[in-house]
Amino acid sequence: MALRGLSADRLAQTENILKSDILTIREARIMSEPANCIFCKIVRGSIPAIKVHEDDDTLTFMDIQPASPGHALVIPKIHAANLMEIADADLSAATRAVQRVARAVRKALAPDGIRIVQTNGKAAGQTVFHYHVHIIPMQEGQKVGTHGRAPADPEELKALAARIRDALDD
Ligand code: AMP
Ligand code: ZN
């Protein structure tokens, strides 16, 4: 497409058309991601999740078996099994989301510390093979561990998600 010589208005119009085409392509990609991946199902909305934050490229939701209250997971919307497979742009977007949500967790829950955990491969403790980053609020003296043993009460998860969401900066 010859863009040189176009007026500023025409360029802005073309940019908007291209942006909307890119979004349509991303949506089509998301719909064609692995059918049996549980996190892809959450992205497509075919199974529920308690959402904290969403943008074009990432989704953050509460871990159903939290290691501590406020434990959230950040994922890219486009499927990638792990850190070695994820595309640069999705890694950057996910990392920015991790920082943003971690700041909100600090503001909302004031934990003593926050563990950021990311697993690659079964031997490393990975159980869901769609790249994800754990954000785990920690209290002084709390035993370090990634997984809770039991599913949390959904109402408690919803309340925590709302508190974290409210603390997200614009
Ligand atoms: P990992 O062991 O690093 O692969 O972590 C996977 C995490 O996903 C675990 O902490 C699980 O509790 C969590 N998890 C699995 N299924 C769901 C789900 N449907 N909704 C929210 N969290 C989930
Ligand atoms: Zn997936």
Q: Closest Cα to residue 105, out of 149, 143, 138?
A: 138
Q: Closest Cα to residue 108, out of 50, 164, 165?
A: 164
What letter represents residue 56's amino acid? D
Report which DSSP code applies to 24.
Answer: H
Per-residue pLDDT averaged across 19-34, rounded?
84
Q: Which two tokens stand for residue 34?
A: 């692995």
Q: Is the pLDDT of residue 33 over 80?
A: no
Q: Probe ligand 1: pick from 52, 61, 65, 134, max atoms within 8 Å of CB?
A: 65
pLDDT tens per residue across span 84-118: 999 999 999 999 999 999 999 999 999 999 999 99
The three-state secondary structure class of 116 is: strand
Residue that is written with structure tokens 């406020």 in the block: 70
β partners of residue 60: 53, 74
The pLDDT value recorded for residue 148 is: 63
The pLDDT value recorded for residue 170 is: 66
pLDDT tens per residue across span 125-168: 999 999 999 999 999 988 877 666 788 999 999 999 999 999 99
Dist. CA 141 → ligand 2 center (Å):
35
Please report the atom of ligand 1 found closest to the CA of residue 132.
3
Please report the atom of ligand 1 found closest to the CA of residue 42.
19
Average pLDDT, the chain: 93
Percent of the chain at pLDDT > 90 equals: 81
Determine which residue's CA is closest to atom 10 belonging to ligand 1: 147
The yes-or-no answer on residue 130 being catalytic is no
Confidence of residue 73 (pLDDT cuts 50, 70, 90): very high
Per-residue pLDDT averaged across 44-51, rounded?
95
Contact 135, 62 (CB under 8 A): no
Q: What DSSP line would sit under 46-105, residue for residue? A: SS---EEEE-SSEEEEE-SS-SSTT-EEEEESS--SSTTTS-HHHHHHHHHHHHHHHHHH
Altogether, the residues listed in the chain come to a count of 170
CA distance 158 to 150: 16
